[in-house]
Amino acid sequence: MSDSRRGLSGDTLHEMRRLRRLLLGLRLWAWLRPSDRQALLWWAVAAGLLGAAGTVAFRYAGLGLQLLITGSTGDEVAIFAGLAWWQRLCIPAGGGLIAGLILLLAHRMGDRKATDYMEAVVVGDGRVPVRPSVMRSLSALFSISSGEAIGREGPLVQLAAVAASMLGRLRRMAPARMRLIVACGAAAGIAAAYNTPLGGALFVAEIVLGSIAMETLGPLLISSVVAVLVNRTFFSDEPIYAVQTVAGPSFGAMPFYILLGLVCGVGAHGWMRLLRHSTRAFKFTRLPLVLRLTLGGVIVGALAVWHPQAAGNGMSVIQDLLHNHNQAVLLLLAVAVAKILATAAAFGSGAVGGVFTPTLFVGATVGALLTAAVALIPGAPALDPTGFTLAGMGGFLAAAANAPITAILMIFEMSLNHQVVLPLMVTTVVALFTARRLGGESIYRESLQSGGPSLFDRELGELSVADLMRREFLQIRPTARFSELAARLLKSRRAQVLVTDEGAILRGLIRLDDVEPYLKDPYVAETVLAIDVAHENIPALTPATSLAQALDSFARSGHDTIPVVEAGSSPPRVVGVLDREDLYLAVSEITRRSRARAV
């Protein structure tokens, strides 16, 4: 043993070894520590994993319940086609009854209103309550598994957003960051539901966030990719509407794609009005919630007795339209009417679910019917049914959701056929402008507007540091030894800690860079106190400080976090901290909304 260590007691040697481990941890942390934006991408990965786990669990639960209810699993249309007429009638009605009872139980438990993920993102706090969301998803599970004509993407995305919201609350994220993490969860849910990583990210960016800036789009893309990779581990990696061939675009076909866009724009406007009138009609009956959902199930069942294609969300019917081009026009029209009425009944009754896939179905039907109608005209050019069916899906979605970029990318990813992109662009643009001419409301308008005024709806000058600061922060005593300081820095996600006296009196701030000179020699480090390495002349904000002044303080100081002190307190007492990235995210969203209102 060296002379420098002879005579040291066992406790001292143990403390030295502990300090060496802490110093090694700090060196690794200094080398590996991500920046704020890099850390956000890691949280996006976590949100993608959690979102994918929720969607996989829901899909397997749905298959199990479907097997229990109908005796088989798979395509709802094929299952209902093999059932007796009374089974087609009773199964959706029974599913509606149980779904209504679950919602009634949720209301009795005090869950009067479940925050939709869109509302949580738009309002900006990012808090999606767990119990109401789980209860609504359980209700949706019975509706969907019993053949109700409603999409499963609604509960899938809601569960993914709940998981992301729980992650944000666990990490005590600020509102702006929490909002983005919940959006990442939602993107993961959509991407996993449709096997569309680009489309999932763009859906949330364009429709929910209203911005495709890289600061927000980057994390959304990461979450979507992670979710799709996990989903492909358990389910097929094939595109859900894969097609072999689509005729290349030609000038002769373009007028008909323009006509398709006009029809989709008008049709989407009528589709949204039908869904809203259906909701009002069910409310007009003044039936209790349970009976409304049961009545919706009875209507779906009765339509399924007429045409089994009325059952389910319409995914298999779209696949049939893409591959079977020999259907009679009258039969195709009858199926379309049955499916549209079934979806309106399910949606209007209050069944929990989505309308994304049913909207795609209506668009696919419009495209197929237009192709069939043109074929009846003597001398008309032969149109490609597959291309027009896909273009109809994209045009109808763009018009209904006010999201042309999302529509183009999602239809491309669902089909993975590049030939459809050019005519799809023409159809979606024409459909969008036609729908806007007629009113331009989004099918998601109610979800996007249901949350009331948001923190981010206010003008920049109306907000202060108090609206964005975190009230939890790491602090350490000035006389703390280096080993305690090292342990605190390892716990800090910002790799910095405030030095405070009793009563949270601010004495300084220590960053990881400040302790690096001591990381190689544990004997020297052990003689250092926290106050010895602290920056004592640091900027501080007050809760009343404007966001413009806060931005200036960050620009001048270069700090990632600035303490917030009680106004007028002497000596200054810390009441919170403000993070640079949280401020930038909030200012970006406030500015975007302000510009949108001015347009």
Confidence of residue 178 (pLDDT cuts 50, 70, 90): confident
To 5 degrees, how large is the angle CA 234–CA 236–CA 242?
Answer: 160
Lowest model confidence (mean pLDDT) among 107-121, 354-368, 533-547: 107-121
Q: What residues contact residue 309 under an 8 Å CB cut-off, 6+ apart?
A: 77, 317, 335, 338, 339
Contact between 312 and 263 (Cβ < 8 Å): no
- Rounded to an integer, what distance in angstroms lies between the CA atom of residue 497 and that of residue 491? 9
Q: Which residue has the higher pLDDT, 598 or 365?
A: 365
**What is the number of other CB atoms lying within 10 angstroms of the CB of residue 24?**
13
Q: Beta partners for 151?
A: 354
Q: What residues contact residue 598 under an 8 Å CB cut-off, 6+ apart?
A: none
Over the stretch 259-269, which tens digit does the pLDDT of each residue have? 999 999 999 99
pLDDT at 63 exceeding the cut of 80: yes
Question: What is the predicted pLDDT for the residue at 426?
Answer: 94
Confidence of residue 12 (pLDDT cuts 50, 70, 90): very low
Question: What is the predicted pLDDT for the residue at 35?
Answer: 63
**Three-class secondary structure of residue 576 per DSSP:** strand
- DSSP letters of 21-53? HHHHHHHHHHHHPPPHHHHHHHHHHHHHHHHHH
Question: What is the predicted pLDDT for the residue at 4?
Answer: 43
Lowest model confidence (mean pLDDT) among 187-191, 340-344, 367-371, 587-591: 587-591
Q: Beta partners for 505?
A: 501, 573
Place of tokens 């429709």: 207
Lowest model confidence (mean pLDDT) among 114-123, 224-233, 248-257: 114-123
pLDDT at 301 exceeding the cut of 90: yes
pLDDT at 176 exceeding the cut of 60: yes
Q: Mean of the per-residue pLDDT values for the chain?
A: 83
Question: What is the predicted pLDDT for the residue at 122?
Answer: 63
Question: What is the predicted pLDDT for the residue at 445?
Answer: 72
pLDDT at 452 exceeding the cut of 60: no
Question: What is the predicted pLDDT for the residue at 303?
Answer: 94
Over the stretch 499-549, which tens digit does the pLDDT of each residue have? 888 888 888 888 777 776 766 666 666 677 888 888 788 888 999 998 888
The average pLDDT across 239-248 equals 77
- Rounded to an integer, what distance in angstroms lies between the CA atom of residue 165 and that of residue 181? 7
- Rounded to an integer, what distance in angstroms lies between the CA atom of residue 204 and that of residue 188? 10
Distance in angstroms between the alpha carbons of the first and the last residue of the chain: 77
The average pLDDT across 242-254 equals 76
pLDDT at 83 exceeding the cut of 70: yes
The 3-state DSSP composition of the chain as helix, strand, coil percent (nearest 5) reads: 70, 5, 25
Does an H or E element contain 501, and which?
Answer: strand 496-501
Q: Beta partners for 541?
A: 564
pLDDT at 278 exceeding the cut of 60: yes
Q: Is the peptide bond before 308 cis (omega within 30 degrees of 0)?
A: no
Task: Give the torsion through C-alpha atoms of 515, 521, 523, 527, to 10 deg.
Answer: -20
Q: Which residue has the higher pLDDT, 594 or 542?
A: 542
Lowest model confidence (mean pLDDT) among 105-119, 261-275, 382-396: 105-119
The average pLDDT across 337-357 equals 91
**What is the number of other CB atoms lying within 10 angstroms of the CB of residue 326?**
5
The average pLDDT across 105-112 equals 74
Over the stretch 126-168, which tens digit does the pLDDT of each residue have? 677 888 888 988 999 999 999 898 888 888 888 888 888 888 8
Question: What is the predicted pLDDT for the residue at 240?
Answer: 85
Q: Beta partners for 470?
A: 577
Please compute, for residue 287, the number of CA atoms within 13 A of its CA located in the half-sphere on the CB side.
Answer: 18
Q: Quick one: what percent of the chain has pLDDT higher than 70?
A: 85
- Rounded to an integer, what distance in angstroms lies between the CA atom of residue 578 and that of residue 572? 16
Contact between 489 and 26 (Cβ < 8 Å): yes
Whole-Å CA distances, 174 to 56, 251, 436, 585? 29, 53, 36, 10
Question: What is the predicted pLDDT for the residue at 296?
Answer: 93
Please name each of the domains of the chain with its CATH number. Answer: 37-452 (1.10.3080.10), 461-590 (3.10.580.10)
The average pLDDT across 174-196 equals 87
pTM of the entire predicted model: 0.80
Contact between 189 and 54 (Cβ < 8 Å): yes
Question: What is the predicted pLDDT for the residue at 409?
Answer: 92
Q: Which residue has the higher pLDDT, 3 or 125?
A: 125
